[in-house]
Amino acid sequence: MPRTRYAPDRGLTTRMVTTMFFIGLLYVVFIGVLLAVFKGAWPLIVIIAGGLFVAQFWFSDRIAAFSMGAREVTPQQAPELHGAVDRLCALADMPKPRVAIADTDVPNAFATGRNQRNALVCATTGLLRRLEPQELEGVLAHELSHVAHRDVAVMTIASFLGVLAGIMTRAALWGGLSRGSRNNNVGIAVLLIPLISAVVYAISFLLTRLLSRYRELSADRAGALLTGRPSALAAALTKVTGQMARIPTRDLRKVEPFNAFFFAPALSGESVSRLFSSHPTLERRLDQLGRISAQLGQAGRG
């Protein structure tokens, strides 16, 4: 991984490796079960699983951008946004990603891409309209940290594997049922495989949520240390979270499936268990930024 001036996070690296190991192990077992039950359908299972995984890995940035309505913009079309990204990339000593804007009033931002060379960072029109320049830089520094640490790629792959479990299950059932007259296990499989698929999805979901909450804290910390202005990021967090309450619920629900990739969750609240949340609480994020601000202040006085 190309080095940048973003503060390294061994805790994040350890969690990413651990998450991918357990999800990979989970899917090896899952595919083994499918192949054992549907012996005649193994070519279909392997082709679909392999093809979808490769497509998701290589085209994840384009898929995410399209799904979230992001369009790439030139420096002439968005000079302030490009200027902020240029300054941060120079400060972090990292390649500049593609820059995009999503036309939605939901104030948010996200980054995607499997590595620094094909990364994309996107801000919504709602975010650009509401934030001051220093606040915007704080948010962008947060998002670029995801690219520098490559946790956005891990999250993309890990999240996709949950969807892949359902697709593979349907493919296996379809292939097995088409050979039902020659397979006495199909009746049992029709009941067993969906249950196994649900368990695989649930475990994958919990693992990605645990990683997601930590990576958001890591990006807050790295972005604040890079810019040296944790207060600007804290102000942006407070403003974005507060403005979410003014956005129509129907608009928030449209982007809710992408919560794990956003700077701040589109929908949150006490009704949602912290176990299933994609982000740490606002209080925890602000508390961390407050401690960083105090540390930087002490270092400055020293």
190 in a domain, yes or no?
yes
Whole-model pTM: value is: 0.84
Helix (H, G, I), strand (E, B) or coil at 102: strand
276 in a domain, yes or no?
yes
Among the listed residues 224, 127, 158, the one whose alpha carbon sits nearest the alpha carbon of residue 17: 158
20 in a domain, yes or no?
yes
Output phi, psi for 94, to 5 deg.
-135, 155
> Please, are residues 179 and 40 in contact by the beta-carbon 8 Å criterion?
yes
130 in a domain, yes or no?
yes
Number of domains into which the chain is organized:
1
Q: In what order do the strands lie in the sheet with 70-72?
A: 70-72, 98-102, 120-124, 109-112
Q: What is the mean predicted confidence (pLDDT) over 153-182?
A: 62
71 in a domain, yes or no?
yes
Q: Which residue in 132, 143, 256, 283 is the catalytic one?
A: 143
**pLDDT tens digits for 43-89?**
776 776 677 667 766 776 676 677 778 899 999 999 999 999 999 99
Q: What is the mean predicted confidence (pLDDT) over 82-108?
A: 94
Q: What is the mean predicted confidence (pLDDT) over 240-256?
A: 76
- Say whether 216 counts as a known binding-site residue: yes
- Say whether 72 counts as a known binding-site residue: no
81 in a domain, yes or no?
yes
Among the listed residues 69, 164, 54, the one whose alpha carbon sits nearest the alpha carbon of residue 110: 69
Residue 135 is a catalytic residue: no
CA pair distance 237, 231, nearest whole angstrom: 10
- Say whether 82 counts as a known binding-site residue: no
Structural domain of residue 207, as residue ranges?
Answer: 10-298
Give the pair of three-digit tokens for residue 148.
């520098």
292 in a domain, yes or no?
yes
17 in a domain, yes or no?
yes
pLDDT recorded at residue 270: 46
pLDDT recorded at residue 141: 97
Q: What is the mean predicted confidence (pLDDT) over 250-268?
A: 71
Helices and strands, counts by H and E, the chain: 10, 4
Give the pair of three-digit tokens for residue 20.
């991918």
